[in-house]
Each structure stands twice: as structure tokens, then as C-alpha cells.
């Protein structure tokens, strides 16, 4: 009875592997290491004192994937593997469609061959596009504003079609809001390639001296201080959401969708100030024009996840900042 984690060496994946091992699950991880290092999993094993089975496999290699299912008794799959850079997806859309869509279709075909029909998928709040009102509930209309977001939208539809064709499939779509922070040990965390696109890793790299200052994109949004508002969620809370989803899968829920967020939005300036307060580090910043494609405010109504899975985020913005800094300051150059 093992859980297969695709993309388990990545940022959210390795935090989830840690929580799963601690909860007593046996794990098989496949990852092609295109955006991660195997060191993350070695650290997870060291932190938990438990081991997992790792295969450096690409989801596009269906035969290799099938051999993993033949070798193990897999009961459910948590599917993180995918490319996630919005900018890159605009530049090279075919790569994103091939990797994210074909990778997912291969995975589902192999699961079907081996009669494994329990799946948790990493979707994103990006599928809500520019929400008409706030907070966002799961039944809001969806739209895509870039190829990355479109892969999430299409995969959601593919998985729903699969469930409609064969009700034996139990599928949970988790729509993450903005994952930040790191495990409290400071041993695993976010390790982006090159200059970070996302706010929190940019802030921590400014704090550690790798980058000179933060550009705050836009100060004329319709928000209390003019900067954009997001629902930041601690990655350990997010990881625990996957354990709640696995427990839900065991109840055979059919197809279900949950927002994973805190329900509370913070502006860019609020995050900077929270980081400075939590860490004592000064973050030099300058105002810059809006970033194309950004929306003013996004935050979740996360009550469905609590009502149906008993999960709710526990950690606040100061813990997110403290733990992100603990990771970055102990690992200034990542893994
Ligand atoms: P990540 O890049 O750190 O992890 C993804 C992992 O998948 C990487 O280790 C990468 O090497 C692997 N991978 C990619 N393509 C693969 C393939 N074809 N075969 C095998 N492995 C492959 O990203 P993350 O932040 O941990 O995100 C995990 C998932 O959550 C992704 O699907 C992402 O789109 C989704 N998500 C992330 C965020 C976020 O802000 N981090 C928000 C919403 C949704
Ligand atoms: N921001 C800055 N300066 C920076 C980086 C970001 O001001 O250097 C601002 C952005 O303009 C935005 C906020 O900080 O207002 C958060 O930006 P992120 O890039 O951290 O996060 P996004 O909300 O833009 O996007 C994230 C993921 C996407 C995912 C989306 C879902 O990166 O993959 O959340 O809501 F689709």
C-alpha cells in the first residue's frame, strides 16, 4: 500500500512527502528533476528518519512509468509534476502543453492500466482569472489568461471527464492559492532557478543579499494601499491539505474540488512589513509599473475544505515569513 507522488522532489512535493512519511505512509516518488534537486528528498529522509523510493523518471516516458506501477502496490497518486512558470509558458507554450497535458494523460492511462483510480491533482487559483467578487468559492467561473493557467484548466476538465466516463475514479482537484514559507527545520524550502518571479523568494533573496531591491509591481490597484492582494498559505499547511485529501479519497468521494488558502488576503506592502517584523531584516523596495496579467485581489473562501475534509490553514503571515527566512538564511544558494 504505497502512495505515488509525482513531482515529489519539488517545492510543494517535498514538503508533502515529509508530512506523509511522518504520518506513516509508504512513498514512491517520480520526478525528472527538471526543476528540482534530489537533495530535497535526501533531506526529507534525514528529517523524518524514514526512507522513500525515488525514480528519476519523466512522465512523458510512459513505459518507465508503467514499470513503477508494476513494481509497487500503489493505492493513490498525488500529482504535482508539471512546469509552473507563467512567463516561460507564454514564451514556449508547446513545451507547457506537452509536459503538463501529455504528462497527465500518460499518468492517467498508466493508472487505468494498473487499476489505480485515486488521484489528487495540483490545480491553482489561477483558474479563477480575474474574480468578479471576493472571497472566491469553488463554483466561481473559470478562465485562463496564459498557457500555464490553460494547462490547469484543461487538466481539470480532462480529470472531470475521466470521472464522468468511469465513476470508479476518485479525483480531488486542489486549487492552491499562494504557497510560501518552508518547513520549520529550515532544511527544505523553495529554490527557484535564476531570478525569482514570485514575491516571497524575491524578498528572501533581497534579504540575504543576492538581489539589491524588490520592485513592487503596481500601486494603483483598487486595494486599501494600492498594491495587489493575495492569499498566502504556508507550504506546510498546504502539504497537510494533501493528507486530508488522501483521507477523503478513502471515502470514495467521486470528484471533488477544494480551495486551499487561508481566506485572508495581504497586500504586497503588508507582506514586506510582515517580513521585516518577523525577521528584523530591512527590505529595500521601489515602486514599479503593474506586471502584465496581474489581477488586483485574490483570496479564497476555504470553508468547503474545512466542512468536507476537516482541513484548515493554521499558520499566519509571520510564521510564513519567519520560516521562509530561516530556509533562505541557512541555505543562501538553495540546495
Ligand atoms: P516545482 O517546480 O518545485 O515542482 C514540480 C516538480 O515536477 C519538479 O520537481 C519538476 O522537476 C517535476 N516535473 C516537471 N515536469 C515533470 C515531468 N514531465 N516528469 C516528471 N517530473 C516532472 O513546483 P511546485 O511549486 O512544487 O508546484 C507543484 C505543483 O503545484 C505544480 O503542478 C504547480 O503547477 C502547482 N501549483 C504551484 C503553485 C506555486 O505557486 N508554487 C501554485 C499553484 C499550483
Ligand atoms: N510581486 C511584486 N514584485 C515581485 C514579485 C511579485 O510586486 O518581484 C507582486 C505581484 O505583482 C503580485 C504579488 O506580488 O501582486 C504576488 O505575486 P507572485 O508572483 O508571488 O504570485 P501570483 O499571485 O502572481 O501567482 C502565483 C503563482 C502562479 C499561480 C498563481 C495563482 O506564481 O503560478 O499564484 O493565483 F497561478
Cis bond before residue 135 (omega within 30° of 0): yes
Whole-number Å distance, alpha carbon 238 to ligand 2 midpoint, is 17
Q: How far apart are the first and last CA of the chain?
A: 31
Contact present, 302 and 262 (Cβ < 8 Å): yes
Q: 270 is written with which cell numbers?
A: 503588508
Round to whole Å and give the CA distance between 169 and 309.
Answer: 18
pLDDT score, position 159: 98
pLDDT score, position 291: 95
Name the residue with the closest Cα to ligand 2, atom 5. Answer: 199
**Catalytic status, residue 266:** no
Q: 309 is written with which cell numbers?
A: 475534509
pLDDT score, position 75: 98
Q: 85 is written with which cell numbers?
A: 512558470
Atom of ligand 1 nearest to the CA of 176: 43
> Among residues 191, 302, 193, which one has the least CA distance to residue 237?
302
Torsion angle defined by CA atoms of residues 143, 8, 43 and 204, in that order, rounded to the nearest 10 degrees: -10
202 lines ligand 2 (CB under 6 A): yes
Name the residue with the closest Cα to ligand 1, atom 28. Answer: 80
279 lines ligand 2 (CB under 6 A): no
Whole-number Å distance, alpha carbon 112 to ligand 2 midpoint, is 36
Round to whole Å and give the CA distance between 90 and 104.
Answer: 20
pLDDT score, position 1: 77
Whole-number Å distance, alpha carbon 265 to ligand 1 midpoint, is 24
pLDDT digits (tens, 9 = 90+) for 244-253: 999 999 999 9
Q: Which ligand is nearest to the CA of 300?
A: 2
b/e sequence 306-317, b meaning 16+ C-beta within 10 Å: eeebebbbebeb
pLDDT tens digits for the chain (335 residues)? 799 999 999 999 999 999 999 999 999 999 999 999 999 999 999 999 999 999 999 999 999 999 999 999 999 999 999 999 999 999 999 999 999 999 999 999 999 999 999 999 999 999 999 999 999 999 999 999 999 999 999 999 999 999 999 999 999 999 999 999 999 999 999 999 999 999 999 999 999 999 999 999 999 999 999 999 999 999 999 999 999 999 999 999 999 999 999 999 999 999 999 999 999 999 999 999 999 999 999 999 999 999 999 999 999 999 999 999 999 999 999 99
Whole-number Å distance, alpha carbon 19 to ligand 1 midpoint, is 17
CB-neighbour burial class of residue 177 (10 A; exposed 0-12, middle 13-18, buried 19+): buried
Q: Residues near 204 by Cβ (< 8 Å), separated by ≥ 6?
A: 324, 325, 327, 328, 329
Residue 242: count of CB within 10 angstroms of its CB: 26
Q: Residues near 60 by Cβ (< 8 Å), separated by ≥ 6?
A: 98, 99, 102, 103, 106
Distances (CA, A) of 6 to 22, 34, 55, 317: 18, 12, 10, 28
Q: Which residue(s) pair with 29 in the sheet?
A: 5, 54
Q: Say if pTM beats, i.e. exceeds, 0.75.
A: yes
Amino acid at each position: 500500500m504505497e502512495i505515488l507522488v509525482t513531482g515529489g522532489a519539488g517545492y510543494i512535493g517535498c514538503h508533502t512527502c515529509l508530512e506523509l512519511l511522518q504520518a506513516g505512509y509508504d512513498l514512491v516518488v517520480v520526478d525528472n528533476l527538471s526543476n528540482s534537486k534530489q537533495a530535497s528528498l535526501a533531506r526529507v529522509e534525514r528529517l523524518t528518519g524514514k526512507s522513500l523510493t525515488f525514480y528519476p523518471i519523466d512522465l512523458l516516458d510512459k513505459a518507465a512509468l508503467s514499470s513503477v506501477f508494476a513494481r509497487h502496490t500503489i493505492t493513490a497518486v498525488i500529482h504535482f509534476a508539471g512546469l509552473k512558470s507563467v512567463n516561460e509558458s507564454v514564451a514556449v507554450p508547446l513545451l507547457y502543453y506537452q509536459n503538463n497535458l501529455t504528462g497527465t494523460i500518460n499518468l492517467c492511462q498508466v493508472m487505468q492500466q494498473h487499476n489505480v483510480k485515486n488521484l489528487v491533482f495540483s490545480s491553482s487559483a489561477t483558474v479563477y482569472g480575474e474574480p468578479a467578487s471576493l472571497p472566491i468559492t469553488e463554483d466561481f467561473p473559470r478562465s485562463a489568461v496564459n498557457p500555464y493557467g490553460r494547462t490547469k484548466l484543461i487538466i481539470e476538465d480532462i480529470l472531470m471527464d475521466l470521472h464522468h466516463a468511469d465513476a470508479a475514479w476518485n479525483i480531488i482537484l486542489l486549487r492552491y492559492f499562494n504557497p510560501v514559507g518552508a518547513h520549520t527545520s529550515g532544511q527544505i524550502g523553495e529554490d527557484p532557478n535564476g531570478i525569482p518571479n514570485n514575491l516571497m523568494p524575491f524578498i528572501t533573496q533581497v534579504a540575504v543579499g543576492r538581489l539589491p531591491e524588490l520592485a513592487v509591481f503596481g500601486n494603483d490597484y483598487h486595494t486599501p494601499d494600492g498594491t495587489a492582494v493575495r492569499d498566502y498559505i504556508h507550504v506546510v499547511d498546504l502539504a497537510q491539505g494533501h493528507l486530508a485529501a488522501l483521507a477523503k479519497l478513502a471515502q470514495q468521494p467521486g470528484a471533488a474540488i477544494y480551495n486551499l488558502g487561508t481566506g485572508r488576503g495581504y497586500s504586497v506592502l503588508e507582506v514586506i512589513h510582515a517580513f521585516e517584523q518577523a525577521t528584523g531584516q530591512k527590505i529595500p523596495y521601489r515602486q514599479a509599473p503593474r506586471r502584465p496579467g496581474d489581477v488586483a485581489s485574490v483570496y479564497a473562501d476555504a470553508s468547503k475544505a474545512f466542512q468536507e475534509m476537516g482541513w484548515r490553514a493554521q499558520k499566519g503571515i509571520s510564521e510564513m515569513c519567519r520560516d521562509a527566512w530561516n530556509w533562505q538564511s541557512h541555505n543562501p544558494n538553495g540546495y
